[in-house]
A and B are shown apart, each in its own frame.
Chain A
């Protein structure tokens, strides 16, 4: 990495990486019954909300409650359980029900495809332009370095549509449609992926839009609308949490050249500067799958997420000592910051900002 983006000397970087490795070792040595009991209790709660939600559709006046319960179930399933289990955070338990190899989530994106694009591509090449396809998901302009095109005038609209149809966007993500349009990928490359998506879509649709509505007999339309609403609520929530993780102002992006021959310390450094946290209550952390601790998640993607709050204290202390930025803020200010960026980047860039400007403290920067 060229020096302008790195505020640490190579020696400092190495020491910084060693401190991160030490945190990791401490947590791994301490994993045990409490972590197992925690994830099992979350699973139990999720299944409880799911059953309650499905059952409440039989009582038409309780429709809002049913939708709320099913939304909570889907959010827990996708975030605190699905996302984290599929990262292998609980593989050490040896429980097939919590194994990253076996877990499938309540979402139209097939888990094996998501694990490739997320665990491998996004987590390895985090915020490297041209490599991390999560920057704008091939649809949006989320970084100044992405050249402007009149197409991007629709940036806010595309973001809104991606939010509403987020699970479909995630499912389509692996098809790399933008690369097909650009001629970098052949349609035939997608045959197997396409079949996998269709299988999963069919299962999800049969369950939410056919069988469960049919089981409520005359209430079919209400139940169908309820299930669709729960999927929508999950889409909106997941989109917002995830966009707050990498796109608030002040989060750094990197070029391929900057990341050549990266050392372990540099990798940690990129993960730290390429992510942003959300402050909030315990409930907020649970419902976001602890992605409110996006920084800790990117530093240690395979450690159980319930450990992130305790890790965060140590990471912040280390950041203070090395004088490194730790991007965090409440949900509303991070969301505002993301929305501003989406709108601003829909227009052609003003002159490139002066060097170091993207290191300026954003609104939500921690003291």
Chain B
């Protein structure tokens, strides 16, 4: 079966087929027959929908199981994937989600656990569509798995996960991988959630804690009197934690605290790996000067927000995708001015530079070709 499959894929990706289907490419023909046939593009069919959190008044959290096309190269636990769906009258909208299942091989199913983002209007929100309304049978567009927030090939003995809210998903994928690999070392799993009712994977985590595979699960509910761990608390739980391999994922506020706790003499421990779920708020950018959108001729006073947000506030609808600097669909030519990358804090003043406007804030006057 897999030999014929491989052969078929090889033929479909051959230069001869590319030449015959030029200029459109073989995928433009295959998709008309069956959306799950592809030579290079990646798509997936939704096969199961499981509601993880369903608390009245709170955004639902849903786990979706996807069967990808056999172009899917597999993933390492901890990685994310871009998912594109058609919303708002035929507009493909793409967002990035962490994969919650353990490592997958090429063509294998995987799951994504996501929380509906209540801040965006339902008709334009990918997370709301997927968490609230998606039904099995839906076909979505995918990227390959991406991201370096993964376990190394040689898994360390001692591991710490610190996560908050839906930031639990990549850590959960890694934890599940560790269980499958029958990891022999010790794992400390520290998670912050709103309340037990809002706890994603509550039963699975309880089972893991009970089973005692050397995994300490600590669930903390700050709004219910639970408190954030101080460096002293961490030290008591994990002696010498700054030298222990740690993966942290969650809201920017939590990650800031974690960074501080892992800093000594002004340097963050190399053992700490963090993954932001949303780019940090851009409020640190200076709000002076004027932003010029040269193609439309619009100008606006610089508010310090990202160029994408400022363009949208000015009534423009620039192309954009993930809104967190991953997918490059918002790449735009900046003709002049200085911009700060909100992910890295780096500034750049090169003229005629292609920048990702979703993670760039202008510093002073700035002109972009929008």
Asked if A95 is at the interface of the complex by the 8 Å CB criterion, the answer is yes
Q: Is the CB of B24 within 8 A of A37?
A: no
Query: What string of 1s and 0s marks CB contacts (under 8 Å) between B88-100 and chain A?
Result: 1111111000000
Within 8 Å by CB of B94, from A37, A94, A106, A207, lies A94
For the complex, give the distance between the alpha carbons of A241 and B20 in Å. 29
B12-26 vs A: 1/0 string, CB under 8 Å?
Answer: 000010011011100
A residues near B54, Cβ cutoff 8 Å: none
22 sampled A-B residue pairs with Cβ under 8 A: A33-B90, A35-B90, A36-B86, A36-B89, A91-B319, A92-B91, A93-B91, A93-B92, A94-B92, A94-B93, A97-B24, A97-B28, A104-B23, A104-B24, A106-B24, A203-B19, A203-B22, A204-B23, A206-B22, A207-B19, A211-B19, A215-B20
Residues of B within 8 A of A (CB): 16, 19-20, 22-24, 28-29, 32, 84, 86, 88-94, 317, 319, 329
Q: Which A residues have a C-beta under 8 Å from some C-beta of B?
A: 31-33, 35-37, 43-44, 47, 51, 91-95, 97, 104-106, 200, 203-204, 206-207, 211-212, 215
Which residue from chain A places its CB closest to the CB of B87 in the assembled complex? A94
Set of chain B residues within 8 Å of A32, measured between Cβ atoms: 88-90
CA distance in complex: A155, B94 (Å): 52
Bound Cα distance A36, B88 (Å): 11
Decide: B29 and A93 in contact? CB cutoff 8 A. no
Q: Which residue of A lies closest to B17 (CB)?
A: A211
Q: Could you count the A-B residue pairs with CB atoms below 8 Å apart for me: how many are there?
A: 54
Given known pairs A44-B32, A91-B319, the reply for A212 and B92 (CB within 8 Å) is no
Q: Which residue of B lies closest to A91 (CB)?
A: B319
Contacts of A206 in B (CB 8 A): 19, 22
Q: Which residues of A contact B29 (CB under 8 A)?
A: 47, 51
Tell me, rounded to whole Å, the shortest Cβ–Cβ distance linking B330 to chain A.
11
Q: Return chain B residues, CB-CB under 8 Å to A104.
A: 23-24
Q: Is the CB of A207 within 8 A of B91?
A: no
Expressed in whole angstroms, the minimum distance between the Cβ of B129 and any Cβ of chain A is 14
Rounded to whole angstroms, the CA-CA distance of A43 and B91 in the bound complex is 17
Chain B residue at minimal CB-CB distance from A35: B90
Q: Are A203 and B23 in contact (CB under 8 A)?
A: yes
Chain B residue nearest to A39 (CB atoms) is B90
Residues from chain B with Cβ under 8 Å of A95 in the complex: 92
Is the beta-carbon distance between B23 and A105 smaller than 8 angstroms?
yes
- Minimum distance in angstroms from A192 CB to a CB of chain B: 18
Measured between beta carbons, the chain B residues less than 8 angstroms from A36 are 86, 89-90
Min CB distance B208 to A, Å, is 40
How close is A202's CB to chain B, nearest CB, in angstroms?
10
Contact (Cβ within 8 A) B319 A33: no
Q: List 8 A-B pairs, minimum CB-CB distance, nearest first.
A: A32-B89, A36-B90, A94-B92, A104-B23, A203-B22, A33-B90, A33-B89, A95-B92
Cα-based distance from A43 to B28 in the complex (angstroms): 9
The interface residues of chain A lying within 8 Å CB-to-CB of B329 are 94
| B362–chain A nearest beta-carbon distance, Å | 24
Residues in B neighbouring A106, C-beta threshold 8 A: 23-24
Whether B94 contacts A204 by the Cβ 8 Å rule is no
> Chain A residue with minimal CB distance to B94?
A94
